[in-house]
Amino acid sequence: MKKILLTSSLIAAALFISGCEEKQNKINRYFQNWTGVNGVLEVYAGDKLVKRFIKIDKLSTATSTDGKDYRPYRYGYGFMDENLNFKKDLNEKKVYFEFSDYSTNYIFFENPSQ
């Protein structure tokens, strides 16, 4: 009986792990959110840096109400780095932000300063 239970558990785990790529991505995002990611988002107008957000856990892609279609923008939460020093200063607040896939040049990366 123990062998059957162990075997069925291993098969269920293998099917879960080998599931679709999106399921694996969700699992990875869960662990990243749990352990923390120190992301930076820089927004450019041409070649000029116009905004920087720091201490971002993740960027999300917007979905339709039914959750099947993706919308052409991304969003997240982070601190607006107003003086562009890569550090959260006392006057810098956590904000919600979103940006279009069509009109914005942006770079998302892990903060090298911390």
CA distance 74 to 26: 16
In a shared domain, residues 72 and 98: yes
Burial 62-87 (b: 16+ CB within 10 A, else e): eeeeeeeeeeeebebebbebeeeeee
In a shared domain, residues 56 and 29: no
In a shared domain, residues 42 and 31: no
Tokens of 61: 């892609």
pLDDT tens per residue, range 5-29 = 445 554 555 555 555 566 656 655 5
In a shared domain, residues 50 and 105: yes
CA distance 86 to 8: 50
Range of the structural domain that residue 108 is part of: 37-114
In a shared domain, residues 51 and 96: yes
Give the count of domains, the chain.
2
In a shared domain, residues 61 and 99: yes
CA distance 82 to 101: 23
pLDDT tens per residue, range 29-72 = 554 544 456 889 999 988 899 999 999 988 888 887 877 788 88
